[in-house]
Structure 1
Amino acid sequence: MSWNNQGGGPWRSPGQGPWGQGPTGPQPPSDLEEWLRRLQQGLRGLTPTGGGGGGGGAARLILVVALIALVAWFALGSFYTVQPNEVGINLVFGRYTGKTANGLNTNWPWPIGEVIKVPVWDQQLTEVGYRSDAGGADILAESQMLTGDQNIVNVRFRVSWQIDPTDPEDFVFNILNPRETVKAVAESIMREVVGLKTIDGVLTSDRKSIEPDVQQRMQTVLNGYHAGVLVKQVQLQSVDAPAQVISAYRDVTAAQQDQQRAVNDAETYANSVVPEAEGRASRILAEANAYKQQTILDATGQTSRYSQIYAQYKNAPGVTRERMYLETMERVLGEMSKTILDAPSASAPVPYLALDPTTQKPAGAPK
C-alpha cells in the first residue's frame, strides 16, 4: 500500500512533498535560465520586433547558437602549424591556392579549405633488388639485369631522394603514386645503363660511372613527368654474377686485380729507375761538356803558344832553333842518368861502373 500523509495518494497537491506542505510562492530562476533570459534581452535589438511569443525567443536562441558555432568553427579551423621540415599546400574547394612555409599559417577551415603538409626536407630511400627491412633479402625479379654482351648480373642498389621544396604541389597532384613511380623509373634507368655495359665493366671498372649516369638520367625523366622529386644519390649496394658462375667471375676479378697490381708495381719501378737513369745521363753529358771545354781551351792555348814561338822564330831562326833544341833535350833527358863526353877521342869510350852515391836507386827498387 502506497504511503499517504493525509489521504489522496502519494502527493497531496502540486508543490507538496512527501513530508507535507512544500514551499509556497514564486521560486527564484536557476542560473541557466537567468543567463538565457539576459542573452535574449541583449539580442532583442537584432530582431525586427521588440517582443514576441515563445516561438520568437526560440528562433533567436537558435540564431545565437548558430553564430557562436560559426565563430568557433572559423576561429578553431583557420589556423594550422607547419613543421620546419614541411611545406603546407593550401586548397579551397579542392583547388590549389598556394603553399606556405613553416610556422603558424591560416586557411579556410574544413570543409571549405584543406591543408596538405608535405615533408619536403625528409630524405626518402627507395631500394631496388633487395629489402633491408627483410634482412637484405634479394628480389631477383628486380635485381637480374642483362648486360650489353648478353650476360646476366644481379644489381642491388638504392636511391636517395626528396620532394622538391620549390614545387611540392607537383609531387602532390601530378603523380598518383610518387614513391612507386620513383622506384619504377630507377629500375628502368638502371636496366638501360647496364644494357650499355659489358659484364666485365659492370663488375669492375664501370661501377663508379654507373651511379652518376643513373642519377642524371632519373632526374631528367622525373623532370619530364613534373613529379616534384629531386634525386640526391644513387648507390650500388652489390653487383654480382649469377650464383651458378659467381666463383668463375670472382677468379676473373682476382686475376684482373693481380694484373692491375703488377702494372702498378711496374709503374712504380719505372718511376724510380727513370729519374736515376736521367740523372746519370745528365752527369755524363756534363762531364763530356766539361772535357770538351777543357780540350778546346788546351788546344787554343797550344795554338797561341805556337803562334808566339813562330813569331820569335821568324825574328831569329838560329837562336830559336837552338833554344827549342835545348828545351826539348832538357825535358827528355832531365829525369834519366847521363854520361857526358867532353870531346871526341880517337878510341872508343870505355864503360865504367858508376860509384856515385847520388845515383843510387831508391830502396825497394829492383836491382
Structure 2
Amino acid sequence: MSWSNHSGGPWGQKPGGPWGSGPSGGGGGTPPDLEEFLRRGQDRLRSILPGGGASGRGIIFIILGAVLLWLATGFYTVRPDEVGINLVFGRWVGNTGEGLRYNFPYPIGSVITPQVTTVNTIEVGQRTGDTSRRVAPAREVPEESLMLTGDENIVDINFTVQWQVSPAKPQDYVFNLQNPDSAIKAVAESTMREAVGRRNIQSVLTTDRGAIESEVRESMQTILDQYGAGVEVRQVQLQKVDPPQQVIDAFRDVQAARQDQDRIRNEAETYASRVVPEARGEATRIIQGAEAYRERAVAEARGAASRFTQVYDAYRTAPSITRERMFLETMERVLANADKVLIDPKEQGVVPYLPLGDLQQRATPPANSNTRQGATR
C-alpha cells in the first residue's frame, strides 16, 4: 500500500514522524551538523574558562583541579577502636592510630581499618543463638565436644574462647589469616584435646578445670604467635564438663561411691590420728611407770641389803645386844596396833584381869554391820 508524503504518512500526521515535527532550523528532516555542535561547545567552554580564548591554560587548570580532587580522596579517619593499615600498590607500609590520617588515594594506595578492641567469642562443642529476641537453646556438636582422656575414658566438654586482634600486629591478622574464626577454632580444639589427653577423667571433672583453662590459653597463644596470626587470646572458659550422655547416670553412681569411699577413709584417718597418739601416750606412761618401779625396787633392795649387812656386822660385834634389840623392834611392830596391858610380875597385890566381855564384843562384829556387808556384796 502506497501513500503520499503530503498526506502525513501512515499515522495521518505532518512530516516529521510519529513523535511530532522534525528538528527546527534544519529545513525538513536533515540531521544537525556535528562540526557546528562541536564549535558551539568550544565557544561555551571558552566563555567559562578564565582568559577567554586561552584554551591551553584552561585545560591545565582543569587537570590540576582534577588532580587535587583525586589527592583529597586520600584522607581517611581512624576510629578509637581501630588501627589504620596503609598499603601502597598492595604492599604494607605502616600503621596509623586514631584520628584524621592520609595515604595515597586509590588506585595507588588503600587503607584497611580492623577493629582491635572488639572481643570476639568462639564456641566449641555447642552453638547458641538468638531467635525472635529470645535466646535459643544451645545445640550440641558431639564431633567437637567428645574427647578422650589419658585413662581412655570419654568426656563431653563445651568451652568458649575469647580473642581480639592484637593492637601491636594488626597487619599479621589482616594478611596471614584468611578465615580467622576457623583457624582459631581449630587451634582451640586441638590444644584442648591435648590438655585433656594428659589427664584422667576424675581430675578433668573435679580439680583440674582451672589448670586446663590456663594451659589451653597459653598453648593457643604460643601456636598463634608461631603462625603470625596477630591475635591475642583473652580467655578460655569451660562451660560443661560431663561424661557422655549415654553413661552419665552410671558415672554419677560411681562418683557417689567414690565420695563415700573418700568420706569413710577420712573418718578412719581421723580416728587413727586420735587413737594412735592416745595409745602411744599410754605406752609411754606404762614404760615410765615400770622404769620408776624398777628404780624403786632396786633402791629398796639395795637399802635392805645394806641394812642387813649393817645388822650382821653389829651382831658379830655384840650378839646379845643385837638379839635383844631385834626382839624389841619386832615386838614394837607387832604390838603397835594391839590393845595391851602391861603387868610387872615384881609388883605384889596386882590381880591379873582379863576383860573377856570386851574382847568378845570386839571379836564379834555388830549385826547391822554384817547386814550392810551382805547387802554390799
Q: Give yes or no for TM over 0.5.
A: yes
Shifted more, 156-165 versus 297-306: the winner is 297-306
Shifted more, 171-180 versus 182-191: the winner is 182-191
User: 1:276 Cα deviation (Å)?
Assistant: 4.2
For 2:299 and 2:100, the matched residues in 1 are separated by: 101
CA contact (8 A) 2:71 2:104 kept: no
Partner of residue 120 from structure 1, selected from 116, 122, 131: 116
What is the letter of the counterpart of residue 173 of structure 1?
F
- DSSP-derived class of the 2:113 partner: strand
CA contact (8 A) 1:313 1:321 kept: no
User: 1:186 Cα deviation (Å)?
Assistant: 2.5
Question: Which blocks of at least 5 consecutive residues in structure 2 are unaligned?
Answer: 1-47, 130-135, 346-351, 372-377
User: 1:110 Cα deviation (Å)?
Assistant: 2.9
Superposed CA deviations along residues 89-130 of structure 1, whole A, max 9, x for unmatched, are 3333322223345x4364424324444333334332111221
For 1:333 and 1:99, the matched residues in 2 are separated by: 122
Q: Could you say which residue in structure 2 is the equivalent of 1:346?
A: none
For 2:72 and 2:234, the matched residues in 1 are separated by: 45
Partner of residue 162 from structure 1, selected from 155, 164, 186: 164
Is the alpha carbon distance of 1:231 and 1:326 closer, same or farther for their aligned partners in structure 2, counting shifts above 3 Å?
farther
For 1:323 and 1:195, the matched residues in 2 are separated by: 98
Q: Could you say which residue in structure 1 is the equivalent of 2:270?
A: 271
- DSSP-derived class of the 2:77 partner: strand
Q: Could you say which residue in structure 2 is the equivalent of 1:235?
A: 237
2:99 paired with 1:104: yes
Q: TM-score, normalised by structure 1?
A: 0.63
User: 1:253 Cα deviation (Å)?
Assistant: 2.3
Question: Which blocks of at least 5 consecutive residues in structure 1 are unaligned?
Answer: 1-35, 41-50, 344-349
CA contact (8 A) 2:103 2:111 kept: no
Q: Could you say which residue in structure 2 is the equivalent of 1:183?
A: 185
For 2:122 and 2:339, the matched residues in 1 are separated by: 108
What is the letter of the counterpart of residue 138 of structure 1?
E
Is the alpha carbon distance of 1:317 and 1:163 closer, same or farther for their aligned partners in structure 2, counting shifts above 3 Å?
farther
Q: Could you say which residue in structure 1 is the equivalent of 2:141?
A: 139
Is the alpha carbon distance of 1:261 and 1:99 closer, same or farther for their aligned partners in structure 2, counting shifts above 3 Å?
farther
- DSSP-derived class of the 2:86 partner: strand
- DSSP-derived class of the 1:90 partner: strand
Q: TM-score, normalised by structure 2?
A: 0.62
For 1:147 and 1:285, the matched residues in 2 are separated by: 51
- Counterpart mapping for 1:1-367 below 5 A: 53-55=53-55, 58-59=58-59, 61-62=61-62, 65-66=65-66, 69=69, 72-73=72-73, 77=75, 80-83=77-80, 85-101=81-97, 103-104=98-99, 106-111=101-106, 112-133=108-129, 134-145=136-147, 154-191=156-193, 210-240=212-242, 243=245, 245-246=246-247, 249-286=248-285, 288-290=287-289, 292-293=291-292, 295-297=294-296, 299-300=298-299, 303-304=302-303, 306-307=305-306, 310-311=309-310, 313-315=312-314, 316=317, 318=319, 319-320=321-322, 322-337=324-339, 353-355=355-357, 360=362
For 2:302 and 2:266, the matched residues in 1 are separated by: 53
Q: Could you say which residue in structure 2 is the equivalent of 1:4?
A: none
User: 1:289 Cα deviation (Å)?
Assistant: 1.2
CA contact (8 A) 2:157 2:238 kept: yes
